[in-house]
Amino acid sequence: MDGTETRQRRAGELGLRYTLSTGRLPRASEDGPLSVPESQRVSPKPLGTELSRETALSIGLQVIVPFMFAGLGLSGAGILLSYFQHWPVFMEVKDLLTLVPPLVGLKGNLEMTLASRLSTAANTGQMDDPREQHGVISSNLALIQVQATVVGFLAPLAALLLGALSTGELDFEKVKLLCASSVITAFLAAFALGMLMVCIVIGARKLGVNPDNIATPIAASLGDLITLSILAFFSSFFYKHKALGPAPYHPGSCLPPPIFNSMGDSQSSYSRYLTPLVCIGLMALTPVWVLIARKNPPIVKILKFGWFPIILAMVISSFGGLILNKTISKEQYKGMAIFTPIICGVGGNLVAIQTSRISTYLHMWSTPGVLPLWMKKFWPNPCSTFCTSEINSMSARVLLFLVIPGHLIFLYVIYLVEGHLVPNSKTFVVFYLLAGLIQVTILLYLAEVMVRLTWHQALDPDNHCIPYLTGLGDLLGTGLLALCFLISWLLSEAELDGILEPASGPP
């Protein structure tokens, strides 16, 4: 790949059109270098100076407020999930729990990827032209609506497949409910969070704050709450209007009890076509979003070749959902529903920040396909990832130092609100903090590796790395959390046996 092609690709990867609208470069004068008309001259910007002036303190101050705000949102999402798990629809349709991590993870696959793309474009000065902003924003929002609709349709299929493999059962009525709930949740959540991301990136740029540091945590702070609330509401609504027979009424539900006709049958039996119509209606809007997205040629490339990362990430998150599904109702895993969004969300937020920062750094200092000399190794020494004076290593340390204090604060909030539903042993707290630290350390190192690999392949890390890493964060977080509950339960049982055994012996 020659230099001209890589430079052209660099502009295209960010979802922006070329700034010269004439379609050709200015001609060189006969007696001198290229002459550029006065109207087309743009004063050069020192693109790398903003990042190079950042210190550990400035990064920490910019990250900590949205990170804590996000953590409180994640804590609220955990409390909501603990409440929703007792709703009739979640108790009857167990595969709905398997669907939670992939749908909640859409903020990593779509909104965080969108925020990272726009943050990179903003930091490199390519969103300062108002003429370009409208096209970039509309095409990117249309893109995530296409992706959300398709992934929202595929996620329940993966959840049902995993559930069928583990139980050997498949109910067609539950298939329709899961598909309709998933598609409408993904559609509405993607629209709301996409608009939020656009406002945050543009506002941060105008205020002189690095969008890489704040966009993704704020997306997470509201993303889980919005997604879980939409999923619970619509799945419960469809559950009361589908042909499963009369649905039991739950006083905690926000929906009214089912209505019965003179024959004693629930009116939901007459709404068997509701869920298919919802799926068909939302899927029918996909060509409209495609037409809007196609107005920006670089977005067409993502439409064609950007599906593999988000679909694979969805599959990875589904395995985390399967772990949640199998453990949430067992006594030794009491509190699993509350902590799952927190540990998965914290890991995903921090690794998304680091990935977006490294991607912005490479867009500033290099061209796709060409790694800087100091980043030539695909598998760097972990010490160079966390222990050097280089800007990306410094940001990795800052993010890693936030893990323990952040989780302690979120634990305190959980114990204040729902202390009777979670383990209160010091052993669990120690293992939980250790699990969170291990998860984030692995993710931050993998972020460094994956960004280098994708950049070397002339791929944009904003589009290809964040979905994989957030999916892995969901799987690692759910798996390590289940292990914490299991170890804590085993140790408490062993301690209880040690106390009871002498008491039951001879006097």
Which of 131-140, 391-400, 412-421 has the weakest average pLDDT?
Answer: 131-140
Structure tokens, 337 = 């529903």
Q: Which of 494, 488, 162, 437 is nearest to 333 (CA)?
A: 488
Binned at pLDDT 50, 70 and 90, residue 27 comes out as very low
- Is the distance from CB of 310 to CB of 147 less than 8 angstroms? yes
Q: How far apart are CA 134 and CA 212, in angstroms?
A: 21
Residue 264 gets the label, from left (phi > 0), alpha (psi -120 to 50) or beta, of: left
Distance set, CA 45 to CA 128, 133, 288 (Å) = 11, 19, 37
Per DSSP, the three-state class of 280 is helix
**What does each C-alpha distance from 336 to 12, 203, 417, 480 come to in angstroms?**
43, 37, 15, 11
Place 205 in a pLDDT band, splitting at 50, 70 and 90.
confident
* 495-500, long-range: CB < 8 A, 24+ apart: none
Concatenated DSSP letters for 241-252? TSSSSSPPP-TT
Closest to 286 measured CA to CA, from 148, 115, 457, 136: 148
At residue 257, does pLDDT exceed 60? Answer: no
Average pLDDT over residues 334-362: 88
The residue-averaged pLDDT of 148-155 equals 89
> By the 8 A CB rule, do 185 and 153 touch?
no
Of 13-17, 229-233, 335-339, 489-493, minimum mean pLDDT range: 13-17
Distance of alpha carbon 387 from alpha carbon 385, whole angstroms = 6
Measured between its terminal Cα atoms, the distance across the chain in Å is 85
**% of the chain residues with pLDDT over 90:** 18
Q: Give the predicted TM-score (pTM) of the model.
A: 0.73
Positive or negative: CA dihedral 433, 327, 476, 67: negative
Give the rounded percent of residues in the chain with a pLDDT score beyond 70: 77
Give the type of residue at 340. T
Between 260 and 137, the more confident residue is 137
Residues in the chain: 507
Nearest to 441 by CA among 383, 362, 374, 371: 383
Question: What single-letter DSSP state applies at residue 260?
Answer: B
